[in-house]
Amino acid sequence: MTNASSTARAIEFRNATLGATIAVLHETEPAGLADALHKMLGGMPDFFSGEAAVLDFGALPAAPARIDWTGLLSLLRRYQLQPVGVRNLPAEHLDGARRAGLAVLDSAELRDRPATAAPAPAPQPRVAPPPPAPPAPPQINAGTMFVDRPLRSGQQIYARGGDLVVLAGVSHGAEVIADGSIHCYGPLRGRAVAGAQGNAAARIVASNFGPELVSIAGVYRTFEKGIPESIAGRAALVRLDSGGTEQKLDLQPLQLD
């Protein structure tokens, strides 16, 4: 069975420099968001592993008449997201957000706070300026995570912002997730979620194909009725096919020798 996400996503996730995940909401009804999250994440619980989240309401097409804060926060916590604040929220809903325990993080909210004047510093004697500090070494972002051990049932690996290369096997009940592509050089038996943040160009490559679920950019496929004989236990490539009216996953055998 293949499920495709709609063109207009109900929710998007973005990284932020403040150490939290930004959840950009395109609607606020928990029922619609639950369906979108199930399609995007394959229904996997514990996807975000307790990460803090800021809810961004700036992409809503119109201000909602009401927001079910209890249902909304409960849904996000089901995927182990911990909502801590809101931004771009219509003014009529700010009190409700605060009552739900969320901080208001808009810059306008910060400007409304009265500034406290700092006392003038006492004059200091003039001293020679310190020598300039040596430049910091450049930070290298490898962009690829390598895992050289087998992943057992219940284990999860997430390559945030890059590709994931698994040099051993992925057992039934284990999960491998990447914002980029996934390469598995051992038996792939668990769940593989590539393009977790919406990268439609991501791929899943396995030398021994036999997963429970594969997903790319929120479009997923399960194998309750079995894996196609042409790729079962063999080298295979999974990619997103957007050529028709509906997005679907394209599974192809690979010739590695």
**Cα distance between residue 196 and residue 13, in whole Å:** 9
Torsion of CA 10, 16, 21, 22, to 10 degrees: -30
User: pLDDT value at position 255?
Assistant: 80
**Cα distance between residue 167 and residue 150, in whole Å:** 8
Q: Is the pLDDT of residue 3 over 60?
A: no
Domain 144-253, what architecture? Answer: 3 Solenoid (2.160)
The CA-atom distances, in angstroms, between 149 and each of 116, 155, 168 are 55, 11, 6
The residue among 112, 94, 111 whose CA lies nearest residue 103 is: 94
DSSP designation for 236: E
Q: What are 253's strand-pairing partners?
A: 236
The phi, psi pair for 48, rounded to 5°, reads -100, -5
| Every domain of the chain and the residues it spans | 9-111, 144-253
User: pLDDT value at position 5?
Assistant: 41
CATH of span 9-111? 3.30.70.260
**Residue-wise pLDDT tens digits, 14-72:** 654 445 678 889 899 988 888 888 777 766 666 676 777 889 998 898 889 999 999 99
Q: What are 144's strand-pairing partners?
A: 163
DSSP designation for 18: T
**Cα distance between residue 114 and residue 120, in whole Å:** 18
- Write the CB contacts of 183 (distance below 8 Å, at least 6 apart in sequence): 163, 164, 165, 166, 205, 206
User: pLDDT value at position 229?
Assistant: 92
**Residue-wise pLDDT tens digits, 181-230:** 999 999 999 999 999 888 999 999 999 999 999 999 888 889 988 999 99
The CA-atom distances, in angstroms, between 57 and each of 11, 38, 154, 196, 247 are 10, 20, 34, 21, 27
User: pLDDT value at position 164?
Assistant: 93
Query: How does the average pLDDT of the chain come out, rounded?
Result: 79
User: pLDDT value at position 205?
Assistant: 96
User: Is there a contact between 174 and 158 (Cβ–Cβ < 8 Å)?
Assistant: no
